[in-house]
Structure 1
Amino acid sequence: MQRANERFVERLPLVLKRPVYAYAISAAFCGIALILRLAAQSFLPIGYPFVSFFPAVILSTFLFGLRPGIFTGILCGFLSWYFFIPSGPGGSFGGGVILALIFYTAVIGIDIALIHWMQRANFNLAVERERSRALAENRELLFHELQHRVSNNLQVVAAMLSLQRRHIDDQVAARAMDDAASRLALIGRISRALYDPAEEGQDLHAFLTRLTADVLEASGRRDIQVTVSAPPGLTLDSHVAVPLALIVAEAVSNAIEHGLPHRGGTIEVSLEDSSGALSLRIADDGDGLAPDFRIEKGNSLGLRIASALASQLSAQFGLHPRPEGGAIVRLDLPAQAR
């Protein structure tokens, strides 16, 4: 309802198909004002000849603009003088009559000028608002198109790396090429999912569920179960969601590769929101960590990437032994980092 009123006000003054209609309706306002003033003649004190004509001038100016407003002001002034202002001998005007007409002219002149200026300002504001809306739509469209192209390019680069890997005989180099291709492909899928206009503001629980399923499928393992828990309806800005998703992907991949390399097991991904601060936990029931393990001295590229992404988010990242057996990755993101 409020928006409908705003749209109506933005259209003022009304531009009718024929300008004569605006003058005709304005004359009708004057006639209604005259009838009301005649009806009130019996109980209004002497000296109020314009009391019912001011609203007619204001309404006409408000609806139809400057010129119909001036027309209404002149016509109402003539009607009030003719019917309600007594003239002196020979039709002469006294000082009081002249003062009343000057007062009437000043009041309607100020009313018409103020309404005209406000409508001009309102029109300019509506034009700027429409221009800003169009620019915002174009910017959003270009942004999503850019993200779409970046995601496609990442997928293409990943495919090229996979093709190039076929010509490499060295196992270490081939493994590095495979890891690079899979990470690029994963980044492309994450970007496409998070920046897709159809999935804007998507639920993180559903997104992380699809993400972990993709990582598990890419590993080729069927004996590992991944569960995800997150607050319903939780969404994050892209500058936080993308690094967070990459950390989850790296941690799950690390758990599959190093924690459960030769047997099945479970991996639990949990995300908690406490007064704006996020706590991410990724626990597995695998072989656990070596007694002398230090994350800063580890040789896992995935963990180094996850640590770098956590630093980008100003978050605390750690990998610790799990009391029940296995390992647990912890990421604590403060509220101000979101």
Structure 2
Amino acid sequence: MQRSNERFVERLPLVLDRPVYAYILTSCFCAAALLLRIAAEPLLPVGYPFVTFFPAVILSSFLFGVRPGLFAGIICGAISWYVFIPPYGALTLNPAVAVAMLFYTGVVAVDIALIHFMQRANFNLAVERERSRALAENRELLFHELQHRVSNNLQVVAAMLSLQRRHVDHEVARQALDDASARLSLVGRISRALYDPSGAGQDMRIFLTTLTTDIVEASGRTDIGVVVTAPDGLRLDPNITVPLALVVAESVSNAMEHGLPDRGGAIGVTLEMVDGALTLQIADDGQGVAPDFQLERGESLGLRIAHALAAQLGGHFALTSAPQGGAVARLDLPVRAAC
């Protein structure tokens, strides 16, 4: 309703392309004001010759602009002078009549001027709003194009690493190039998935479900089930979501590679927010963690990356054995980092 009123006000004055209609309707307003003044004559005290004519002038100026407003002011002033200012039926000019007409002229001029300036301000506001809308659309388009190009460039780099792998004979080097290519492709997909020019972010439960499904399918494993648990409607800043998604990707990949290398199993991804602090857990029912395992000295590049990403966010990442068997990767982010 409010938006409809704004659109109506922005269209004023009306019928600019057909001024004859404006003058016809203005004349109707003046006639209605005359009839209303005649009907109210028994109820009004002596005087008040302009009481019903001011609204006609204001309405004409508001709806049709300055010229119809001036036309209404002249017509209503003449009618008031001729019919309701003594001596009645004559346009007699004396000091009292001159003062009354000057008062009427001043009020009408102020009303028309104020309405005119208001309409000009509304017009300029509408122009600026349209310009802002166009700029917002251009910004969204440019942001979308930038995001698209960044994702494409990451995919190109990943493809170049895959091509370079063909010219490397050393198995360790080939594996390193494969891992780097896969990680670059993943970052590109995450960036594309998180694209939102409004900055609102995506629902984390839906995003993590899509992400983990993509990781499992990319690994070629059909015997791994992933369950994601997260609050409905939880949205995070992309500066947090991207590192968090990478931690999830590395932890899920590590669970499949080391915890469940030769059999099927289940992986649970749980994201919780308590008093503004985030807790992420990736638990599997695999082989678990060796008693002497130390994350800082581990050989897994993915886990070291996860540890570095946690430190970048001011949080803590750990990989421990689960009491019921398997392993649990846990990322804790403090309130400041999660906000």
Under a length normalisation based on structure 2, what TM-score does the superposition of the two structures give?
0.91
1 CA distance for matches of 2:214 and 2:15? 59
- Assess, with a 3 A threshold, how the Cα gap between structure 1 residues 326 and 91 changes in structure 2: closer, same or farther: closer
Q: How many Å apart are 1:333 and its aligned residue? A: 3.2
Name the structure 1 match of 2:185.
185
Q: Which residue of 2 aligns with 1:290?
A: 290
Distance across 2 between alignment mates of 1:251 and 1:41: 88
User: Any idea what SS the aligned residue of 2:281 has?
Assistant: strand
8 Å Cα contact 2:13-2:119 kept in structure 1: yes
1:178 shift after superposition: 0.4
Matching of residues 28-177 of structure 1 within 5 Å = 28-87=28-87, 92-177=92-177
Query: Hey, what's the Cα distance between the residues in 2 that align with 1:172 and 1:308?
Result: 23
Q: Contact 1:87–1:93 at 8 Å: present in 2 too?
A: no
Q: Is the 8 A contact 1:250 1:302 kept in 2?
A: yes
* Structure-1 separation of matches of 2:316 and 2:55: 68
Classify the secondary structure of the residue corresponding to 1:139.
Answer: helix
Q: Distance in 1 between matches of 2:86 and 2:332?
A: 86
Per-residue deviation at 1:196?
7.0
Question: Which structure 2 residues correspond to residues 180-259 of structure 1 after superposition, within 5 A?
Answer: 180-195=180-195, 202-259=202-259
Determine the C-alpha separation between the residues in 1 that align with 2:101 and 2:275.
Answer: 67
TM-score where L is the length of structure 1: 0.91
Give, in angstroms, the shift of residue 240 of structure 1: 2.6
| Aligned-residue CA RMSD (Å) | 2.2
Aligned residues of 1:317 and 1:329 also touching (Cα < 8 A):
yes
Give the match for residue 20 of structure 1: 20
| Structure 2 residue runs without a partner (length 5+) | none
Q: Equivalents in 2 of 1:231, 1:214: separation in Å? A: 21
CA 118–316 in structure 1, closer or farther in 2 if over 3 Å, else same: farther
- In structure 1, list runs of 5 or more residues that go unmatched: none
State the partner residue of 1:277: 277
SS in 2 for 1:266: strand
Offset of 1:311 from its aligned partner? Answer: 3.4
Q: What are the superposed Cα offsets for residues 269-313 of structure 1, whole Å, 9 maximum, x if unpaired? A: 011233443321111122222333332333322122222322343
Deviation of residue 117 (structure 1)? 0.9
CA distance in structure 2 between the partners assigned to 1:14 and 1:71 by the alignment:
16
SS of 2:184's equivalent? helix
Count of aligned positions: 335
Using the TM superposition, give the Cα deviation of residue 85 of structure 1 relative to its aligned residue in structure 2, in angstroms: 0.6
TM superposition shift of 1:92: 4.3
Cα distance in 1, alignment partners of residues 38 and 260 from structure 2: 97
> Which range moves more in the overlay, 251-260 or 31-40?
251-260
| Greater displacement, 317-326 / 159-168 | 317-326
